[in-house]
Amino acid sequence: MTRILLILLAVFVWFDAEANQASSKDVAIYKRDMKRIEKYLNSISTFIAVFEQKTADNEISEGTFYLSRPGKLRWDYDAPTPITIVAKGSLLSYYDRELDQISHISLDDNLAGFLIQKNISFDSGVEVLKFVKKNGRIMVTIAQKNKEDEGQLTMVFSDQRIELKELGILDAIGKQTIVSFNSPIYGKKINSKIFSMQTIRKENRSN
């Protein structure tokens, strides 16, 4: 499963929800920008982008990411990484194309479900751990409420025109990955069959 931690050291605006040490001006900026991000995320019907993934061990993978809201997303890794990950309904499915093996976990136990909600809100089901605004970018780190130690999701957006640039997960054992999105396409119709694990397995077996 993909995992991420984006580390930014010096910050222009920094807000720690737990420490609650931000100034009133910083809190106002935080609230305004979080509303901008919510509006952007909820405006997405479909999102397709090429991605590059870097792990903490400096391993690099590439592929294509598909998001169809509400309810569906897919990570397709290019060779030599034989992995396809699909979130649909209440399940996240991890498929090893080389071994033709599949495993499932509940989206209730995974932050991947945040992006495919019908109504995305930072006030519902998650807590904001960190907000960083610097050099034309905004970083937001969230965790499931009362489950911070079970993993964190970090999203990085461009600031002037809100757009998702980086995304990933820091998992429960601290393993990290950074994923960068390139050349995103919005609003293009996506055939729902690409989110069917049955279809994916059938196509893989025929290749």
Whether pTM exceeds 0.75: yes
Phi, psi of 48 (to 5 degrees): -125, 130
Quick check: is 139 in a domain? yes
Residue with structure tokens 């989206």?
A: 107
Quick check: is 167 in a domain? yes
- Which domain does 19 fall in, by range? 13-206
pLDDT (tens digit per residue) in 28-43? 888 899 999 999 999 9
Quick check: is 1 in a domain? no
Quick check: is 4 in a domain? no
pLDDT at 148 over 80: no
Quick check: is 148 in a domain? yes
Q: State the pLDDT confidence band at 3, using cuts at 50, 70 and 90.
A: very low
pLDDT at 72 over 60: yes
Quick check: is 3 in a domain? no
Q: How many domains does the chain have?
A: 1
Quick check: is 2 in a domain? no
For residue 145, the domain's CATH number is 2.50.20.10
